[in-house]
Amino acid sequence: MSDNQFYESLDETKPGHTFLDSNELVLNMGPQHPSTHGVLRVILKLDGEKVNGIECVIGYLHRGIEKIAENRTWAGFGPFVDRLDYTAAVSNSLGYCLAVEKLLGVEVPKRAQYLRVILTELCRLASHQVWLGTHVLDIGAVTPLFYAFRDRETILSVFEKYCGARLTTHAFRIGGCRWDAYDGFAKEVLKVCDDLGPMIDEYRDLITGNRIWMQRTKDVGYISVEDCMSFSITGPVLRGSGVAWDLRKAQPYSSYEDFDFDIPIGTAGDTFDRYVVRVEEMRQSIRIIRQAMEGLPEGPIIAKVPKVLRPPAGEVYMSIEAPKGELGYFMVSDGGPQPYRVRVRPPSFINLQALEKMAVGSLVADVVAIIGTLDIVLGEVDR
Amino acid sequence: MIQSFLGYLHSGVTPGEAGNLIWIAIYVLLVFAGISVGVMFMNWFERKIMAHMQVRLGPMRVGPHGLLQPIADALKLIIKEDLMPSNADKLVFWFAPVCVVMTAFCAFIVVPFGRTHAITDMNIGVVFMLGVSSLGVLGVIMAGWASNSHYPLMGSLRSGAQMVSYEVAMSMAVVSAVMMTSMVTGTGTLSMIGIVEAQMQQHIWFAFSFFPVGLIALSVFTIAMVAETNRAPFDLPEAESELVAGFMTEYSGFRWSLFFLAEYTSMMAVSAMATTLWLGGWLRPFPNLLGGRNWDVAFSLVPGLTFAALALICFFTYTRMPRIRAMRGDTAGLAVLGCLLGAVGVVMLLPAVRIRVQDIFWFTLKVAFFMYFYVWGRTTFPRYRFDQLMKIGWKVLLPISIGVVILTALIGVRQELFALVWR
Amino acid sequence: MSFVELLKKVFMVDLLKGLFVTFRHQHPDNLVTEQYPQERPVISDRFRGQPRLKKDANGKTLCTACGACALACPEKLIKVSSLRDPETKKKVLTEFDYDLSRCMFCGLCEEACPSNCLELSPDYELALYTREGMELDRQHLEDGTPRKVYDR
C-alpha cells in the first residue's frame, strides 16, 4: 500500500481507517529504541502478536553527504565517505577510491592493492563482529556482544596503528595507500587471524547450536530468491537465500582474483542461514588475509596522481562487495576539481526494502530479529 | 517477659511452634534484614558475575570493587521523582508493588534455615509457599492494569500467563518430592522442616534418591522456577530490547525498587524451596558417607574457614589496589572489610558459635548456588519468544513432571513392596 | 533424529556447552577492561589527535606559511596569516587559526604540509567545558592547550 493509503488508514476522520478496528494496534518502534540499530522508526500494525503491516520511516540521520560532495574536492571528500557505513569505514573508502581511479584511469600498484585487500577484509571482520554482537543482543543473549567487541578491539588497534584512527579511518587515497605497513604489521595481522579462528568456534558453541537460538531464528524472516532479485537485494541476505553472487568473484577488483576463497551460501533464506553465512564469511576473510599477507609484493604504494585532481568529464559506476552488500558509487565529473554529482548506492537502504516482505505475517518478537539480520546501519540508509 | 525470652532458648522447636511472640518478632526482623541484605548483595553479585562472564570488570568505582554500588543504587531510587500516570487507578497502582513484595516476603515465614531457625513450621509449609507465590501473580497483573497504558497491560498479562503456566509444572515436581518423604515412615509430610528431616532419616538428599527421577524432578523445578520469576531465558515480558516494555514501565523510583526487591526475594524463595525439597536443606554434605564425630567437626569448621578465605581475598585485593591518592578511601575500606570478615570468621570458629551457625551456613550456600545458576543462565542464553515459552511450559515441562510423579509413585510403591516381602 | 542427537537434546548438551563457554571467560586473565584514567591506552604514533605546530631545535617555527594545509582542509577551518619579510623576501607566519570544533581529524592538512610542521599528535584528551577553547591560535598549537589531567 502506498504512503498515502497507509497514513490515511491511521486517520480517524477518514473512512476505512484501521486505528480503532477491533484487535488492530498501531505500535511505534520509535527512532530511539535499543534494537533499531540507529535512528530507524518502524510503525507496526499488529493484530495481537501478528504483524499485519510495517512501515519504515527513515531520514533521522540524513546529513546531506551527497550534497556535501559537490562542494569538496575529490580528495577532500575522502574522509566523508567513512561516515556512511561507520562500522566498516575502510570498505567505503575503498569503494570511493576505486570509483575515482576508474574515472581517472589510474592503475594502482600491486602492493597497494594487496594492502587494500588486507585492510578491507579486516574491516569486513570488524563489521561482522558488530553485526553479530548486536543481532544476538536483540534476541536476548547478552554476552556475545562483549566477546565480539573484544575481538573487534584487536582489529581496531591494527587500524589505529596503520592509519591513526579506529573508526573513521580515511585509510586509502586516490591512487593507492598513503601509509605503508608499519613495523609489526604482519605479526599483528596474523595474530588477529590466529586469535579469531577459536573465537568463531566459541560463537558456534555459544550460539549456533543453541536450541533457543535455533528456535528464534529458523523460519523467521524468510525471503525467496525472486523477491531478492526484484528488490535488488545483495550481500549476505541474497547469499542466505541461495544465490552465489559475490562481487569479489563476479567482478573482481583490487586483485581479489589472486586469492582463493569460497562464497558461503545458505539454502533456506531465513535468519539462521544468514547468520551462518556471515559467520562463514568471517572465516573466509581470515583465509584471504593470510593469503594476502603471504603474497604481499614489494613496490610503490601510491600511483602518480596530480595534487589537484581534475578527472575528465564523464560518469562512472563502481561497486564493491561491502560487508553489508553491494556498495556502489555513481559519480559524474564535469572536468573540474569538485565532483558534479556523487550518488552512493547504499546496501542497507536497498536491503531495508525486504523488511516489509519478511516481517509481515510474523510475530512482534521476530521483527527485532529481522531488523538485526538485515544488518542495516542508518549512516548508510540515510546518508 | 525475660522468662519467655530465655525460656525459648532451650526448646528444640521454631518460635512459631513454641508460640513465643518475642522470638517470633526477633526472627521476623532477622529474616527481613537478612533478605534485604541478600537482595543488595545479589545486585552486586549479579552485576559482577555477569561482567566477569562478559570479560569486563563491572562496577569498580563506587566502593572498592563496586561493593557500595547497591547502596548507591538504592539511594538513587529513593530520591527519584515518584510518578503516577494521569489516568491511572491510584489505589491499585499503589497496591501492586506492595502486593508483590508482601507475598514474596511472606514465603519466607516457613523457610527453614535450620532445625529451629525458621519463623514457624506449618504442617502445610510447602503448599503455603506455593500458594503465596501464586498471589504474586495478582500483583503483577494489577501493576499492568493500573498503568493505564496498553503496553504494560500486554506485558503484565503475558507475564502473568507465564507465571501461572510454570507453576503447574513446579507443583507437580514438588508433589514428587513430597511423595519421597513417605518412604521410611510410611507417612509423608508437607512441612518444610519435616521434608528435610525425612531426608536426614533416609540418609539421602532427594535429588539423588530414586536415581535419576530425583534429578529430573530437580531440573524440572529449576527450569520452572526460572520461568516463574521472569528471568532469562524466559524474560520476554521484561526484556529491554523487545517492543512491549513490561508491566514495570510506568513505575519509577521507589515503587520500581519494590518490584526489583520482590523479584529477587521470590528468586530466593523458590531457590530455598528447591534447596529444602531436593538438596537437603540445612544438612551438611555427605552426612553418612563421611559420618562420625571427626568429620562432623571438620565440616563445622567450614563456615569459619569460608569467611577467613573471604577475608584473605579482601587482603589480597587490598595489595593490588592502585596506590594513588584518590583511591585512599577505597583501599582503607577494603582493609576494614577484610578485618571484619576475618573477625566474623574467627568468631565462627568458636565451638559455641559454630554448632548453631553451620545449619544456616549450609542452607545459604545452597541457595547461593541456585542464585549463581540464575545469573549464569541470564548471561548465557538468548530469550525465548512468548509462544515458544508457553509451548515449553505446557507441552514439555508438564508431561515430564507428570511422568516424574508417576515414576516416583511406582518406584516408591515397588520399594515398599520389596521391603514388605523381605521382612 | 538419530539416537545420539536425541540424547543430546534431552540432556541439553548445547545449552550446557554454552554455559561452559561463559564460565570459562570468568578467569581474571580474560578481563579486558582498561580502567581509565589509571590505565591509559597505548597510542600509536600515527594517531590523529590534537594538532600541533612543530618548532626546530632553536625554537623557531618550521611553518613557512605556504597555506597548503588551509587549501587541503575539506572544512576550510585553517586560517594562515603571514607577512612578507622585506630582507629575505620569504613569507613569515604571523597567525595560524585552527577551529578544532569543526575538525574531523582526517589528516589531510598533515599530509599537505611540505615542511613537516603541522602534525596531528597522539594526544586524544581534548575535552573542554567551554567552546572558546576549541578555537586554537598559534600559541596553543605550538605549546599545547592547558588541560586538567584526571587521575580517577
Contact (CB<8Å) A365/B150? no
From the CA of A130, how many Å to the nearest CA of chain B?
Answer: 15
Contact (CB<8Å) B55/A150? yes
From the CA of B399, how many Å to the nearest CA of chain C?
Answer: 14
Beta-bridge partners for A330: A317, A343
Cα A361 off chain centre by = 26
Give the pLDDT of residue A19: 47
At CA A128, angle to CA A122 and CA A131, rounded to 5?
150
From the CA of C45, how many Å to the nearest CA of chain A?
Answer: 7
A315 and A253 co-located in one domain: yes
Interchain contact C105–A (C-beta under 8 A): yes
Name all contacts of B314-319 with Cβ < 8 Å and 24+ positions apart.
B314/B338, B314/B341, B317/B64, B317/B65
Contact (CB<8Å) A202/C21? yes
- Nearest chain C alpha carbon to A70: C74
Interchain contact C25–B (C-beta under 8 A): yes
Cα B148 off chain centre by = 32
Q: Which domain holds residue A8?
A: 3-57
- Nearest chain C alpha carbon to A82: C106
For chain C, the first-to-last Cα distance in angstroms comes to 58
Q: Using CB atoms, pick whichever of B52, B326, B381 lies closest to residue C26.
A: B52
C-alpha cell belonging to residue A152: 573487534
- For residue C39, give the 3-state DSSP assignment: coil
Give the pLDDT of residue A20: 47
Q: Using CB atoms, pick whichever of C18, C31, C38 lies closest to residue B56.
A: C31
Helix axes B253-278, B150-180, angle to 10 degrees: 20
Other C-beta atoms lying within 10 Å of the C-beta of residue A1: 11
Q: How many CB pairs under 8 A join A and C?
A: 67
More confidently predicted of C32 and A22: C32
Mean pLDDT of A328-348: 92
- Nearest chain C alpha carbon to A181: C46
- Nearest chain A alpha carbon to B376: A143
- Please report all neighbours of C, defined by 3+ CB atom pairs within 8 A: A, B
Give the pLDDT of residue A1: 53
Contact (CB<8Å) B55/A140? no
A269 and A322 co-located in one domain: yes
- Fold for domain C51-143? Alpha-Beta Plaits (3.30.70)
Contact (CB<8Å) C22/A206? yes
How much of chain C exceeds pLDDT 70, in percent? 99
- Please report all neighbours of A, defined by 3+ CB atom pairs within 8 A: B, C
How much of chain A exceeds pLDDT 70, in percent? 93
Interchain contact B53–A (C-beta under 8 A): yes
Tell me the per-residue pLDDT of C122-134, one tens digit each, with 9 for 90 and over: 888 888 888 888 8
Cα B373 off chain centre by = 11
In chain C, where the domains are located: 1-32, 51-143
- How deeply is A35 buried, as exposed, middle or buried, from its count of CB atoms within 10 A (0-12, 13-18, 19+)? buried
Contact (CB<8Å) A179/C46? yes
Give the pLDDT of residue A141: 86
Interchain contact B161–A (C-beta under 8 A): no
Residues from chain B that touch C151, judged by Cβ atoms under 8 A, are 324-326
DSSP annotation of A87 reads T
Contact (CB<8Å) C23/B54? no
Contact (CB<8Å) C25/A147? yes
Residues of C numbered 82-141 whose beta carbons fall under 8 angstroms of chain B's beta carbons: which are they?
Answer: none
Contact (CB<8Å) B324/C152? yes
A120 and A178 co-located in one domain: yes
Give the pLDDT of residue B245: 64
Q: Which of B30, B191, B190 is nearest to B105 (CA)?
A: B30
Contact (CB<8Å) A168/C105? yes
Q: Where are the alpha helices (DSSP H) in B80-149?
A: 90-106, 125-146
- Nearest chain A alpha carbon to C69: A76
Interchain contact B383–A (C-beta under 8 A): yes
User: What is this structure's pTM?
Assistant: 0.89
Mean pLDDT of A80-103: 92
CB A247 within 8 A of CB A326: yes
CA dihedral A246, A250, A254, A257 (to 10 degrees): 110
| pLDDT band for position A22 (cuts 50, 70, 90) | low
Interchain contact C107–A (C-beta under 8 A): yes
Contact (CB<8Å) C151/B57? no
Contact (CB<8Å) B56/C26? no
For chain B, the first-to-last Cα distance in angstroms comes to 53
Q: Where are the alpha helices (DSSP H) in B350-397?
A: 351-380, 386-391
Give the pLDDT of residue A16: 54
Contact (CB<8Å) C22/B57? no
Mean pLDDT of A4-30: 64
From the CA of A142, how many Å to the nearest CA of chain B?
Answer: 6
Mean pLDDT of A54-81: 91
Give the pLDDT of residue A204: 83
| Torsion angles phi and psi, residue C126, rounded to 5 | -110, 10
Contact (CB<8Å) C35/B376? no
Residues from chain C that touch B326, judged by Cβ atoms under 8 A, are 151-152
Beta-bridge partners for C98: C78, C136
CA distance B40 to A20: 45
| Residue C46 confidence (pLDDT) above 60 | yes
Interchain contact C19–B (C-beta under 8 A): yes
CA distance A306 to A315: 20
Question: Could you give the number of structural domains in chain A?
Answer: 2
Contact (CB<8Å) C15/A211? yes
**Predicted confidence pLDDT, tens digits, chain B (423 residues):** 677 777 777 777 777 777 778 888 888 999 999 999 999 999 999 999 999 999 998 898 888 888 999 999 989 988 988 888 887 778 888 899 999 999 999 999 999 988 888 888 888 989 999 999 889 899 888 888 887 777 778 788 888 888 999 999 999 999 998 888 887 777 788 888 888 888 888 888 888 887 788 888 999 999 999 999 888 788 877 775 555 667 777 787 888 889 889 999 999 999 999 999 999 888 888 877 777 788 888 888 888 889 999 999 998 888 888 888 878 888 888 889 999 999 988 888 888 787 888 888 999 999 999 999 999 999 998 888 888 888 988 999 999 999 999 988 888 888 777 667 665
| pLDDT band for position A108 (cuts 50, 70, 90) | very high
Residues from chain A that touch B239, judged by Cβ atoms under 8 A, are 140
Contact (CB<8Å) A213/B50? no
Interchain contact B232–A (C-beta under 8 A): yes
At CA C53, angle to CA C49 and CA C58, rounded to 5?
140
Residues of B numbered 241-270 whose beta carbons fall under 8 angstroms of chain A's beta carbons: which are they?
Answer: 241-244
A47 and A102 co-located in one domain: no
More confidently predicted of A5 and B385: B385
Interchain contact B57–A (C-beta under 8 A): no
A145 and A7 co-located in one domain: no
